[in-house]
Amino acid sequence: MAKGLLIVSLVVAVAVAGLPGQALANIVWPALIAETKISSFPIIALSLFIEFWFFKWLFKLEVKDATLYTLAANGVSAVLGIFLRPLSGIAYEFSLGLIINWLFNWGTFNPVAWFFVPIIAGAVNAILELATIRVIWQRKINKRNYALTWAINTATAALATLWVILYPPPV
């Protein structure tokens, strides 16, 4: 079953990676714009490289197993994350974002919103990746595993977010 799920995850991840790298929506918010870079080939490639070594270290894996963990976890994260990361950005906009916007009289695209984009994306990716590892390999996941995985995913999402901020897409 694990190999079947891995193959399906990889096929869907490749299909999602082939989607156009541009957010098309009537209403936009920072997490939606950042998703165009988070799910882009350079960030995905960098994430796979970093997370291979990270999972190898965290779970003390051999190269083959670290490769399988990385591909399966990131395959699921790619498929579900492409929807969940922007949706989590909406959750931010209707919670803390409303307070920040009211306090500082700012709009949606403000420094605090951009600060939280990679933190929230990292949390979503960490949940999806560790859930995948837990389901497929029945690994116990503790707070340390989650915190470290969240940190690694936040770092790669931060690179994507910084890319959007420095080189914004044309409007």
Give me the pLDDT at residue 32, please: 86
Question: pLDDT (tens digit, 9 = 90+) per residue, 34-79?
Answer: 888 888 888 889 999 999 999 999 999 999 999 999 999 999 999 9
Give me the pLDDT at residue 15, please: 53
Give me the pLDDT at residue 23, please: 47
Angstrom distance (rounded) from CA 139 to CA 45: 25
**Regions in the chain scoring below 70 on pLDDT:** 1-27, 171
Angstrom distance (rounded) from CA 9 to CA 110: 35
Give me the pLDDT at residue 76, please: 94
Give me the pLDDT at residue 65, please: 96
